[in-house]
Amino acid sequence: MEPKRIIVGVAGGIAAYKAATVVRQLTEAGHSVRVIPTESALRFVGAATFEALSGNPVHTGVWDDVHEVPHVRLGQEADLVVVAPATADLLARAVTGRADDLLTATLLTARCPVLLAPAMHTEMWFHPATVDNVATLRRRGAVVLEPASGRLTGADTGAGRLPEAEDITTFAQLLLARTDALPYDLAGVKALVTAGGTREPIDPVRFIGNRSSGKQGYAVARVMAQRGAEVTLIAGNTAGLIDPAGVEVVHIGSAAQLKDAVSKHAPDAHVLVMAAAVADFRPVTQATSKIKKGPESQGEPVIELTRTDDVLTGAVRARADGQLPNMRAIVGFAAETGDANGDVLFHARAKLARKGCDLLVVNAVGENRAFEVDNNDGWLLAADGTESALEHGPKTLMASRIADAIASFLGSGKG
């Protein structure tokens, strides 16, 4: 991505120390970062830290470098403004249009995307005043992330924890990559997303698996949650990915466990996104002890395989049979390669017809493509015959385009 000018605002909360990682990650990505803390923030992290990480001077008031008019110029010239943490006080001041320090003045003059990452105690997050302030900021076009749940200050736990730096910088990069705003358009939608590869045990040591990292499914869950959906994520092998903020995560191992989890959660869902890479086969029997290699005279071991249940087809069938009355959209994924019979899209179109889902996300797989990488591209096929290309970029960008398609499908009355 071409380097951009990013303002990182830091409000006065205990989570201010995490802003240092946000600044470092954005700087290492090649962007020009200017940190604007509040006076309260500097009680938690000194200006020298932010200056060292960003390579730019740090000021809090509108009276520094007056000849450069920073309270107007910084906002006007920025490509993105990120505030992390955004305290309840900062959100309230942003809503009322206060401009009594450099950060709020910058927010008032910025015409670029604004990303706010809240951090506060649970009671403050759910207070009607904060709820109204967040709704107002979202209505005005700002992206206000859902906070994570977990340990707060002292012994308190609950919603209101600052999302991890990786979450914040991921959405920062997404807002820079998109040419339009990230809407808050999935409020009230219950989404069930699957991600990662399944592992089918051979013995206590070995398994049949695949190369899926779970990154694309996690990106879909992360984006849909931040667009307002109530998301449950069923995660297989995901190589230690950080669970997305604001998402209920259910961890599973095998295809059978994934099927059971989908069967349990699908009846309440409006949308099912089957991004998991489910094994097509599993061993007929699982050895209770490790299969020994043994001498060559014993011959080669034989592992008999049987097909696993097709979870996606089962969900489509269950909806047709009236077992999923709330389900309005089912999205499948296809990782394909071309062969002598046809190219990637040929096989993908056949799979869409065979599976019967509403939308199918198609990836061409191969060396450094689709699996175990941070970027992706492909196509989106719809049951009505429409097809569109998904541009190359971060997997979160593809996830946002998939969410666009889901929102459009739900809004069109098809779902």
Of how many residues is the chain composed?
415
**Is 404 a known ligand-binding residue?**
no
Instruction: Report which secondary-structure segment, H or E, holds 26.
Output: helix 19-28
* Secondary structure letter of residue 147 according to DSSP: P
Token couple for 268? 């309440």
Question: Is the Cα torsion angle 357, 396, 171, 117 positive or negative in sign?
Answer: positive
Using an 8 Å Cβ cutoff, are 177 and 232 in contact?
no
Using an 8 Å Cβ cutoff, are 38 and 79 in contact?
no
Other Cβ atoms within 10 Å of 40 Cβ, number: 17
**Is 414 a known ligand-binding residue?**
no
SS3 category, 143: strand
First vs last C-alpha separation in the chain: 36
Rounded to whole angstroms, how far apart are CA atoms 85 and 41? 9
Does the N-terminal peptide bond of residue 85 adopt cis geometry, omega within 30 degrees of 0?
A: yes
Rounded to whole angstroms, how far apart are CA atoms 27 and 191? 34
**Is 355 a known ligand-binding residue?**
yes
**Is 280 a known ligand-binding residue?**
yes
Long-range CB contacts for residues 123-129, cutoff 8 Å, separation at least 24: 124/88, 124/160, 125/88, 125/159, 125/160, 126/159, 127/88, 129/88, 129/92
Using an 8 Å Cβ cutoff, are 338 and 347 in contact?
yes
- DSSP-assigned states of every residue in 93-131: HHHHT--SSHHHHHHHH--S-EEEEE---HHHHTSHHHH
- DSSP-assigned states of every residue in 269-325: -SEEEE-SB--SEEESS--SSPPP---GGG------EEEPP-HHHHHHHHHHTTS-T
The C-alpha R_g of the chain, in whole angstroms, comes to 24
Of 133, 210, 237, 376, the catalytic one is 210
Token couple for 300? 């080669």
What values do phi and psi take at 376, rounded to 5?
-160, 165
Known active-site residue 341? no
Q: Active-site residues: which are they?
A: 210
Provide the annotated binding site for CTP: 280, 290, 333, 351, 355
Provide the annotated binding site: 280, 290, 333, 351, 355
